[in-house]
């Protein structure tokens, strides 16, 4: 096998066949993928189809707790799962830069295969393109996901109602601060690592425990603040969250203070925001806490009526008891975080 990626690996000819056989099939050889046709043919399933896509351009490609491959599988699995669907199939499109080390590519594919197994999804179709040196950045990955929504499940960011409780499944800001620390070569006393994780099983467990769950949304780019603003906007309601209730690791909070980042705008890759009716909030919280990825889950606030005549609003009740507006991220805080 060649030591680096060459233009010919994206040619459609025998070199491409070799990279497919020796790298991609070697890592994640699913039956449908191996059939060798242009489209994977998948069994008929009951339920509505959920479909989502995400491209990953994070830099660096490897960081504490994961790599671009872990993000690529978790990101799309989680996006599909937020609809209440059981994610089943992933596609995987690589855009490689000429000269990218083949060993790195193999390592990334290995990670993808491991996370896919954990999530219970199959990588069934793929594509490889190679761009000339200097016209890409090592590796970009697109994953798209297909899942099926079980009968009776209907979640949407538009369903939040006044009185509902707002939960998060764990500590915020870990992923963004990890990437930033890698880039700036900062080190922490405490271990900070990406939180990237497949949350599809956790979501199904919460729905089983709290059947009237309104919605899940993963606070990735733009962080908690942007996600809450999106949901408030979609549902036409106000949100209020309490600073003291929002779980943030000390090391992450310290890094944010030192560097001037708003932790609520920092990206997460293994967390969910979840809105449930008040009488099911404790059940939802217990379900989260019993999952390995939800042990730091918390109820962080509630949904309020949005007064007529102004836009829906997200407010933060600070530790000092004052209120401030929690705004959506405007520009860019940490580019290429995922």
- For a second copy, give the closer residue by CB, 30 or 238: 30
Tokens standing for residue 265: 């705008």
- For a second copy, give the closer residue by CB, 163 or 335: 335
- Yes or no: say if 178 and 193 are a contact pair by the CB < 8 Å rule: yes
- Phi-psi category of 224—alpha, beta or left, where left has phi over 0 and alpha has psi -120 to 50? alpha
Strands 314-317 and 323-325, how do they pair?
A: antiparallel
- For a second copy, give the closer residue by CB, 49 or 259: 49
Task: Give the total of residues touching a second copy (CB under 8 A).
Answer: 89
Stretch that binds a second copy, among 11-19, 202-210, 296-304, 309-317 (CB under 8 A): 11-19
Query: Taking CB under 8 A as the rule, does residue 39 contact a second copy?
Result: yes
Query: Taking CB under 8 A as the rule, does residue 133 contact a second copy?
Result: no
CB of 157 to a second copy, least distance (A): 6
Site for a second copy in 196-225 (CB under 8 A): 215, 217-218, 220-223
Stretch that binds a second copy, among 15-23, 199-207, 280-288, 311-319 (CB under 8 A): 15-23
Stretch that binds a second copy, among 8-16, 60-68, 188-196, 292-300 (CB under 8 A): 8-16
Query: Taking CB under 8 A as the rule, does residue 182 contact a second copy?
Result: no
Using alpha carbons, select from 266, 195, 254 the residue that is nearest to residue 227: 266
CB of 95 to a second copy, least distance (A): 5
C-alpha dihedral over 197, 199, 200, 204, to 10 degrees?
160
Residue 211: φ, ψ to 5°: -65, -20
Using alpha carbons, select from 142, 175, 171, 223 the residue that is nearest to residue 63: 175
Query: Taking CB under 8 A as the rule, does residue 333 contact a second copy?
Result: yes
* Residue written as token pair 């191996």: 34
Please state, as a whole number, how many other Cβ atoms lie within 10 Å of the Cβ of residue 33: 21
- For a second copy, give the closer residue by CB, 321 or 331: 331
Stretch that binds a second copy, among 132-140, 195-203, 247-255, 297-305 (CB under 8 A): 132-140
For 279, counting Cβ atoms within 10 Å of its Cβ (0-12 exposed, 13-18 middle, 19+ buried), the class is exposed
Task: Candidates 182, 283, 286, 329: give the one binding a second copy (CB under 8 A).
Answer: 329
Site for a second copy in 292-311 (CB under 8 A): none
Site for a second copy in 89-118 (CB under 8 A): 89, 91-95
Task: Candidates 30, 54, 238, 243: give the one binding a second copy (CB under 8 A).
Answer: 54
Task: Candidates 194, 265, 291, 306: give the one binding a second copy (CB under 8 A).
Answer: 265
CB of 252 to a second copy, least distance (A): 18
Beta bridge partners of 241: 301, 316
Residue 16: φ, ψ to 5°: -70, -40
Query: Taking CB under 8 A as the rule, does residue 53 contact a second copy?
Result: yes
DSSP string covering 182-243: HHHT---SS---------HHHHHHHHHHSTT--EEE---TTHHHHHHHHHHHHHT-EEEEEG
DSSP string covering 172-186: SSHHHHHHHHHHHT-
Stretch that binds a second copy, among 42-50, 99-107, 164-172, 187-195 (CB under 8 A): 42-50
Query: Taking CB under 8 A as the rule, does residue 283 contact a second copy?
Result: no
Using alpha carbons, select from 321, 287, 142, 272 the residue that is nearest to residue 211: 287
- For a second copy, give the closer residue by CB, 222 or 283: 222
């Amino acid at each position: 096998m060649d030591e680096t990626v060459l233009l010919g690996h994206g040619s459609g000819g025998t070199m491409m066949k070799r990279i497919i056989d020796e790298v991609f099939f070697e890592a994640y050889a699913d039956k449908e993928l191996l059939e060798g046709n242009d489209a994977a043919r998948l069994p008929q399933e009951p339920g509505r189809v959920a479909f989502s896509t995400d491209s990953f351009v994070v830099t660096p490609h490897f960081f504490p707790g994961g790599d671009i491959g872990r993000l690529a599988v978790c990101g799309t699995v989680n996006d599909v799962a937020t609809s209440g669907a059981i994610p089943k199939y992933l596609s995987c499109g690589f855009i490689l830069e000429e000269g990218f080390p083949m060993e790195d590519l193999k390592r990334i594919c290995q990670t993808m295969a491991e996370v896919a197994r954990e999530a219970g999804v199959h990588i069934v179709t793929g594509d490889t393109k190679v761009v000339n040196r200097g016209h890409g950045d090592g590796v970009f990955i697109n994953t798209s996901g297909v899942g099926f929504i079980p009968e009776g499940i209907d979640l949407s960011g538009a369903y939040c109602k006044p009185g509902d409780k707002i939960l998060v499944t764990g500590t915020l800001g870990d992923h963004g601060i990890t990437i930033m620390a890698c880039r700036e070569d900062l080190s922490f006393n405490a271990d900070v690592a990406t939180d990237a994780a497949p949350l599809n099983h956790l979501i199904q467990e919460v729905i089983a425990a709290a059947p009237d769950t309104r919605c899940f949304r993963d606070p990735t780019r733009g962080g908690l603040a942007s996600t809450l603003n999106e949901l408030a906007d979609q549902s036409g309601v106000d949100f209020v969250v309490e600073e003291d209730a929002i779980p943030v690791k000390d090391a992450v909070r310290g890094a944010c203070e030192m560097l001037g980042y708003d932790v609520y705008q920092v990206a997460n890759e293994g967390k969910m925001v979840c809105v449930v009716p008040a009488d099911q909030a404790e059940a939802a919280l217990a379900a989260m806490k019993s999952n390995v990825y939800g042990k730091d889950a918390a109820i962080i606030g509630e949904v309020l009526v949005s007064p007529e005549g102004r836009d829906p609003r997200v407010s933060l009740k600070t530790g000092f008891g004052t209120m401030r507006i929690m705004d959506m991220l405007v520009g860019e805080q940490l580019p290429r975080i995922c």
